[in-house]
Amino acid sequence: MIFESLSDRLQATFKKLRGHGKLTEDDVNEAMREVRMALLEADVNFKVVKQFIKTVKERAIGQDILETLTPAQVVIKIVDEELTKLMGDTQSRINMSPKPPTIIMMVGLQGAGKTTSAGKLGLALKKQGKRPLLVAADIYRPAAITQLQVLGKQLDIPVFSMEQGTDAVTIAKNSIDYSQSHACDVVIIDTAGRLQIDEKLMKELCDIKSEVHPHEILLVVDAMTGQESVNVAQSFNDALGLDGVVMTKLDGDARGGAALSVKAVTGVPIKFIGLGEKLEPLEPFHPDRMASRILGMGDVLSLVEKAQATFDMEEAKMMEKKLRKDEFTLDDFLAQMQQVKKLGSLDNILGLIPGMGGLKKQLAGQDIDLDGKEIRQIEAIIKSMTPKERANINIINGSRRKRIAMGSGTRVQDVNKLLKQFGEMKKMMKKMKKMQKGKKGLPNLG
C-alpha cells in the first residue's frame, strides 16, 4: 500500500502521544522528531520536511492547545491539516475549455506511464460523457503509436495518427482540425518522451505548445523514482510551464515521498494518480483524503464512491429482496462476490477503512489470503456445482461433495467450509429478518 511505512510510524507516534493525556512542550518536540524521521525515511524532500515540522510545531506550541482537554487529538489534527496543505489542499481539476475542444498535452520521460495514463484519462473523461480523441505524437518510438492505437481500440476511443515521417507539431495541429470534424470535445496529445531531459525534447514540446495552445499540460512522473521525479517536475515546469502532475505507479511505491513533495517544491499540484497497469479510469488525487489515509483515518469517501461506481444498484436491490424472502442461492452469493471483487483487492479496500490498517496486518499473518485467492477458490467450487445444487444446497451429499472438490481442484474440506459458511449466512439472515419484524411490533413510545 502507498505510504505504508510512513503511515505505520506516524500512527505509532501519535498512539504514544495520546497515551500521555496532558502534553508538555517536550512531548510535542519528541513527537515532532519522530514525525521528521518518518517523513525523511519516506523520501520526502528534506527542505519540505524542515518547513513542515516548523509549521506544525509553531501551531502546536504557539497556541494554547497544550491546555486543551485532548491535546494529542489537536496535534494530530494540525498534522492532518498540514499534510493536506502540503499536497495542495483541495482536489485540482483539469482546466476545461468553455469552447470545445479542450486540448490536453501529456508530457514526461520515457517509461513514466505517459501513454497508459493518456488512455486512462481518456477513459475517465469518457465516463463523464465527454468524447475524447487520443493523438499519437510520439514519433521517435515507433511502438508508441501502435501502443496508443491498441489502447484506443480496447477503450473504444478514437486515435489520431499520421504517416511516418510527419513531425509532431504538424500531427498535433492536424489533430485539432480532425477533432472538430469528428465531434470530439477533448484532445489528449501523447507527446514523445526521452530517457533524460534534453533540449531537443523541450524545444519540440514548446513548439507544440505554441502551435496548439493547450488548456492543460500534464506531466506524467513515476513515483518509484522518488525525489528524481520531483526534479523532473521542476525542470519541465521551468521549461514548459505545467498545470498538473499525474503521478503513476503509486501502487508500487510504499514510501510515497514524491507525492508529498512535488507540490511543495514546484508549486504544481498532483491532479491524478496511477495505481496499476490495468486500464481503469485515471484516479483523481484528493490531498485531504490522502492525508487521512496516511494518518490511519481511512478514506471512506473514496470507498463509497468506488462502490457506487462499481455496484449495479438494480442488482443490489434485487439481491436484497431475495435475501428478505430467503430465496438467496449460491448463484446469488457468487454474483455478490464477483461484484465485491470488482472493487479491488481486499488489501486495498481495508486500507480505505479507518482503523483497518492494523487488522490488515493481523490478517496477513494468518491463513486468510488478501490477494483474492480465497475468492477465486470459492468461485471455482460454486462453478463446479450443477444449477440444482446451487439452488438447493441440501441435496449436496457426500458423493456430490467429492465430485465438486475434484471438479474445482479443491479439497472436500474446502467444499464443506463454503457450504457451512453459506448455511450460517442464511441462518443469520433469518435471525435479522425476525429482529426486524419484532421491531415493527414495538409500541411507539415517542
Q: Which residues bind ligand GDP (CB under 6 A)?
A: 108, 110-116, 193, 220, 248-249, 251-252, 274-277
The separation between CA 229 and the C-alpha centre of its own chain, rounded to angstroms, equals 19
Residue 140, φ and ψ in degrees, nearest 5: -90, -30
Collapsing DSSP states into helix, strand and coil, what is residue 411? coil
CB atoms under 10 Å from CB of 234, counted, come to 16
Q: Name the residue nearer to ligand GDP (CB basis): 217 or 418.
A: 217
Cα–Cα distance measured from residue 52 to residue 32, given in angstroms and rounded to the nearest whole number: 10
Q: Name the residue nearer to ligand GDP (CB basis): 49 or 134.
A: 134
Amino acid identity, residue 313?
M
Cα–Cα distance measured from residue 426 to residue 259, given in angstroms and rounded to the nearest whole number: 45
Q: Name the residue nearer to ligand GDP (CB basis): 258 or 275.
A: 275
Q: Is 72 annotated as a binding residue?
A: no
Q: Is 191 annotated as a binding residue?
A: yes
Q: Shortest Cβ distance from residue 262 to ligand GDP (Å)?
A: 15
Nearest Cα neighbor of 124 from 313, 309, 262 is 309
Q: Shortest Cβ distance from residue 122 to ligand GDP (Å)?
A: 13
Q: Shortest Cβ distance from residue 90 to ligand GDP (Å)?
A: 23
Q: Is 190 annotated as a binding residue?
A: yes
Q: Is 244 annotated as a binding residue?
A: no
Cα–Cα distance measured from residue 243 to residue 270, given in angstroms and rounded to the nearest whole number: 9
Q: Name the residue nearer to ligand GDP (CB basis): 25 or 277.
A: 277
Contact 316, 340 (CB under 8 A): no
Q: Is 83 annotated as a binding residue?
A: no
Q: Shortest Cβ distance from residue 357 to ligand GDP (Å)?
A: 21
Q: Is 251 annotated as a binding residue?
A: yes
Amino acid identity, residue 83?
L
Collapsing DSSP states into helix, strand and coil, what is residue 217? strand
Q: Shortest Cβ distance from residue 153 to ligand GDP (Å)?
A: 16
Cα–Cα distance measured from residue 227 to residue 38, given in angstroms and rounded to the nearest whole number: 16
Q: Is 248 annotated as a binding residue?
A: yes
User: By Cβ distance, which residue is nearest to ligand GDP?
Assistant: 274
Q: Is 85 annotated as a binding residue?
A: no
Q: Name the residue nearer to ligand GDP (CB basis): 224 or 429.
A: 224
C-alpha cell at 157: 476511443
Amino acid identity, residue 53?
I
Q: Shortest Cβ distance from residue 124 to ligand GDP (Å)?
A: 13
Q: Tell me the pairing of strands 186-191 and 216-222.
A: unpaired
Cα–Cα distance measured from residue 56 to residue 311, given in angstroms and rounded to the nearest whole number: 41
Q: Name the residue nearer to ligand GDP (CB basis): 114 or 209.
A: 114
Q: Is 296 annotated as a binding residue?
A: no
Q: Name the residue nearer to ligand GDP (CB basis): 76 or 112.
A: 112
Beta bridge partners of 103: 187
Q: Shortest Cβ distance from residue 94 to ligand GDP (Å)?
A: 18
Point out the annotated binding site: 108-115, 190-194, 248-251
Point out the annotated binding site for GTP: 108-115, 190-194, 248-251
